[in-house]
Amino acid sequence: MANQLLIHLIIILFPIFVQQFFFSRKNATNSLHYQIISGIMFGLAAVFCIRSPVHFIGEFQLDLRNVPIMIAILYSNGKSSPGIITLILAAAYRTYVGGDALSAAWFSFLFSNAPLFFLAKRFNGYLAVKRIIMAMVYCAVFLVITFLVLLIYMKLTFEGDTDYSDYLLNYLLISSVTIIGTAISCLLKEHMIETSVLKLELEQSEKMKLVSQIAASVAHEVRNPLTVVKGFLQLVKETADDKRKGYLTMALSELERAEFIITDYLNLAKPQPDQLEMIDIESFLKHSLEFMYSYSLIQNVQIHLHVKDRSLFVRGDKIRLTQVILNLLKNGVEAIPDTGSVTVVAYGREGYVHIDITDTGKGMAKEQIDHVGTAFFTTKETGTGLGLMVTNRILEAMNGKLHINSE
């Protein structure tokens, strides 16, 4: 029995090791190609577990098939394809094997795994510790149900004076291996997720470092001649005729846009907050939205503010946080082609202040969302691709996070 259980452990861990070596990047795990391969690998792991069961008592056999099925369903990044493929392969092979307990096996497949699909959509949003605990709770519940089925089987099959102590010890051993296998599988998957996130953050950090170095070495030198040119153009504008004033006004507006771009570069080079203070979120948002009302009216967009909790405070740099809010609001307004609304909702949850900014604009595709916040990526014709990058840098410096969702 010990040898078979050890083989089962190796079987259920093998697909995770393959994933860790060849599919460790987050964007790779979202591809359909990865989902199909993942489903096939975990499905084959479940098949091999069924193929070499532990002969427990009489016709009653046990194996660790539910561990790879559970991992495939829960750790699928919210996708249902890997779990469905795994379940189909395992159920098909169990049907091929046949036997008197086939109906019970089908019932077990559906009863024990169907609830996991409803949980999988939200599973990825939980903290790592909570994910592991939920998987272990599922494993424990499944073992308890299997134990009750085993007791019923033994009562119906054997005489009343039969000594069950050896069987119960064997079941305890199988249960321990199942729990260990589940725990190791979850820990390996969590390590894979953490490694993937760290790789992406490292790549992002390298890009930010490069842009920051460019900003530090170039921005000041470019800004000085622009300031001189802007000053002389303003002087010339005072004595120019109406036709030339129009040209000069256009030139000055373009210079202001160039200064705005340079300011973005400088913010990338120095994202650290200068003056930290306690900020009342309600009054802060009301004051920030006042800057955007006139701009939104020109664009035929309405801005609505809802503060659900009146006592929301954060510690940060008010000027830089204002820049963050204005940048996100401006993006929301400009994403609306004709007319619509931007809604700002503030509330507290689990010790954090959440500010949701929702627009009724055209939205973004998932491929675009994956690139949002990277250097020079923009969906605007006149954008620089630095706005959200600066926003991310400012929020990170104040221990904040930016999450983007779109349809």
The domain limits of the chain are 2-203, 206-269, 276-397
Entry pTM: 0.60
- Enter the DSSP assignment of 60: E
Does the pLDDT value for residue 226 go beyond 60?
Answer: yes
**Residue 117 banded pLDDT, cuts 50, 70, 90:** confident
**Residue 268 banded pLDDT, cuts 50, 70, 90:** low
Residues in the chain: 407
Residue 407 is predicted with a pLDDT of 76
Does the pLDDT value for residue 382 go beyond 60?
Answer: no
Closest CA to 269 of 384, 390, 371: 390
In angstroms, the CA 239 to CA 153 distance is 102
What would the pLDDT profile of 124-163 be if each residue is shown by its tens digit?
878 889 889 988 998 888 888 878 877 777 777 666 666 6
In angstroms, the CA 146 to CA 60 distance is 11
Residue 355 is predicted with a pLDDT of 92
Does the pLDDT value for residue 105 go beyond 80?
Answer: no
Q: Which CATH number fits domain 276-397: 3.40.309.10, 3.30.565.10, 3.40.50.300, 3.40.630.30?
A: 3.30.565.10
Residue 347 — φ and ψ, nearest 5°? -160, 165
- Enter the DSSP assignment of 305: E
Could you please state the CATH topology (level 3) that the domain comprising 2-203 is classified under: Arp2/3 complex 21 kDa subunit ARPC3 (1.10.1760)
Mean pLDDT, residues 229-236 taken together: 83
* DSSP letter string, 135-163: HHHHHHHHHHHHHHHHHHHHHHHS-TT--
Instruction: Confirm or reject CATH 2.60.34 for domain 206-269, answering yes or no.
Output: no
In angstroms, the CA 395 to CA 401 distance is 6
Q: Which residues of 11-49 are buried (b: 16+ CB within 10 A; e: fewer)?
A: bbbbbbeebeeebeebeebeeeebbebbbbbbbbbbbbb
Residue 345 is predicted with a pLDDT of 92
Q: How far is CA 293 from the centre of its chain?
A: 32
Taking each helix axis from N to C end, the angle separating 102-123 and 128-157, rounded to the nearest 10 degrees, works out to 170
Mean pLDDT, residues 237-259 taken together: 80
- Enter the DSSP assignment of 361: S
Amino acid at 33: H
What would the pLDDT profile of 169-217 be if each residue is shown by its tens digit?
877 888 888 898 889 989 998 888 888 878 877 777 776 667 666 666 6
Lowest average pLDDT, out of 60-69, 310-319, 353-362, goes to 60-69
**Residue 100 banded pLDDT, cuts 50, 70, 90:** low
* DSSP letter string, 374-389: STT--SSSS--S-HHH
Closest CA to 186 of 221, 232, 139: 139
Neighbours of 330 (CB within 10 A): 17
- The tokens for 254 are 């373009």
* DSSP letter string, 236-294: HHHHS-HHHHHHHHHHHHHHHHHHHHHHHHHHHH--S-SSEEEEEHHHHHHHHHHHHHH
